[in-house]
């Protein structure tokens, strides 16, 4: 296995176990390469994160087009946001990376974050526009707001898929038009999900 492949495999394991802020030195050690080799392949943490999750982002973007072809307007958007929840609740590193990407200020974006935003924005915007044209979602809602809200829900859920799914259902009620109530699954009041652990404190913007 080449150095780059070993680094990607080690980073994927570390990010999933410890989050996207895990030590890059530890990743290099786990891949049995020196720090210089890591930085030669991945000059920044963001570059490494983008490389590790490139396939997942491509899958999410491709799924948006598939859902648009398969599902009615409104339901396709809901299904795609639930897919984001599914991916981010199952992988801590991806969850951290999504949250960080949508928390960072525009003037602090790296090329990797900019590309991440561009890809997800272009993939999901048609789903939102279809839902708005069909009168299912308010016209003042922006796709970046929905993706940012969804990733924040995934972080709050802390890997608990049923709880995150319930939060997303509640959040989507707030962006629906009155005429859309009762027309698809998002109108059904979600069943309570009982939790015993404490809710995590939200991190302040920019940290």
Q: How confident is the model at residue 148 (pLDDT cuts 50, 70, 90)?
A: confident
Q: Is residue 206 part of a domain?
A: no
pLDDT digits (tens, 9 = 90+) for 2-50: 999 999 999 999 999 888 889 999 999 999 999 999 999 999 888 899 8
Q: 12 and 70 share a domain?
A: no
pLDDT over 70, % of the chain: 83
Q: Is residue 197 part of a domain?
A: no
Q: 165 and 94 share a domain?
A: yes
Q: 36 and 103 share a domain?
A: no
Q: Is residue 177 part of a domain?
A: yes
pLDDT higher than 80, residue 145? yes
pLDDT higher than 80, residue 185? no
Q: 63 and 153 share a domain?
A: yes
Q: Is residue 136 part of a domain?
A: yes
> Residue 107 sits in which domain range?
53-187
Q: Is residue 125 part of a domain?
A: yes
Q: 160 and 175 share a domain?
A: yes
Q: 166 and 95 share a domain?
A: yes
Q: 14 and 95 share a domain?
A: no
Q: 101 and 183 share a domain?
A: yes
pLDDT digits (tens, 9 = 90+) for 150-182: 988 988 877 788 999 999 999 999 999 876 555
Place of tokens 């799924």: 63
Q: Is residue 194 part of a domain?
A: no
Q: Is residue 76 part of a domain?
A: yes
Q: 94 and 9 share a domain?
A: no
Q: 57 and 41 share a domain?
A: no
Average predicted confidence (pLDDT) for the chain? 84
Residue 81 sits in a domain of what CATH number?
A: 1.10.357.10
Provide CB contacts within 8 A for 170, sequence distance 6+: 190
**Least confidently predicted of 35-44, 113-122, 197-206:** 197-206
Q: 37 and 121 share a domain?
A: no
Q: Is residue 101 part of a domain?
A: yes
Q: What is the pLDDT of residue 199?
A: 39
Q: 78 and 147 share a domain?
A: yes
Segment 62-87 mean pLDDT: 95
Q: What is the pLDDT of residue 169?
A: 94
Q: What is the pLDDT of residue 46?
A: 87
What's the number of domains the chain is made of? 2
């Amino acid at each position: 296995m080449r150095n780059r492949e070993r680094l990607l495999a080690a980073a994927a394991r570390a990010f999933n176990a410890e989050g996207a802020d895990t030590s890059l030195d530890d990743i290099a050690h786990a891949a049995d390469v020196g720090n210089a080799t890591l930085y030669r392949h991945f000059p920044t943490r963001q570059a490494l994160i983008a490389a590790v999750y490139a396939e997942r982002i491509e899958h999410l973007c491709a799924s948006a087009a598939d859902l648009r072809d398969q599902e009615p307007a409104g339901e396709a958007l809901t299904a795609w946001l639930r897919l984001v929840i599914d991916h981010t609740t199952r992988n801590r590193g991806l969850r951290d990376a999504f949250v960080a990407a949508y928390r960072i200020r525009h003037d602090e974006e790296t090329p990797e974050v900019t590309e991440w935003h561009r890809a997800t924005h272009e993939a999901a915007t048609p789903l939102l526009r279809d839902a708005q044209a069909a009168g299912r979602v308010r016209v003042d809602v922006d796709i970046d707001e929905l993706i940012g809200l969804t990733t924040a829900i995934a972080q709050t859920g802390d890997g608990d898929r049923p709880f995150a799914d319930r939060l997303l259902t509640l959040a989507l009620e707030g962006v629906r038009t009155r005429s859309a109530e009762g027309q698809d699954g998002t109108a059904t009041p979600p069943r309570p999900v009982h939790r015993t652990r404490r809710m995590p404190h939200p991190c302040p913007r920019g940290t």
